[in-house]
Structure 1
Amino acid sequence: MSIEIERAQAITWIRIQMAQQGLTLSHLQAAGCFAEPPPAPPPGAVRYRNAQGQGWDGRGAMPEWLLRAINAGQTVEHFRV
């Protein structure tokens, strides 16, 4: 099933639910359903940096520049700030 069909089915289901409950878009907006998400937390302090100034805070996936350096024989500790 394509994403377009799934999306259309979801929209239909939502419209049916809203009609059954007597809800309007105004009700949903007043309930905060469309509020802006909170801002993303600031990135962590850089713990590893290369000579070109690229950094990594040590969280999440290891960046490509660091993976390449490790595959070339360097250690992660070599880049510790």
Structure 2
Amino acid sequence: MDERKRDSIVAYLRRRMAELGIAPEDVAASIAADQEKIRAARYRDAFGNTWDGKGNIPQWVVQATSAGQSLEHFAISEPTEAQRKTRPMVDWGDDPFAGSRLATVKTEHVGAA
């Protein structure tokens, strides 16, 4: 995404946030809550469903284990040192939406002009 397009999207989002009365702190708190929920998860399936291993067993776990899959297959493990090193280093210092879904990098489509 080029810089002009990115700046345009950021300006649009800031304008809409102001119209709806959403403060940047509200967005940051929501993101922090989402990240905490993700960190608390112990199991995840291919569709992104998560479970912390406490309380009632969710339907996706029941279905998978009934089909013969082990619960440990869905266990979330900490990334290894090699996996951490392969991630590109990005400076998010100037990005107001750093760490949010709005800041994810999308690959360009083949054949796009």
Q: TM-score range by the shorter chain?
A: 0.3 to 0.5
TM-score, normalised on structure 1? 0.46
TM-score, normalised on structure 2? 0.33
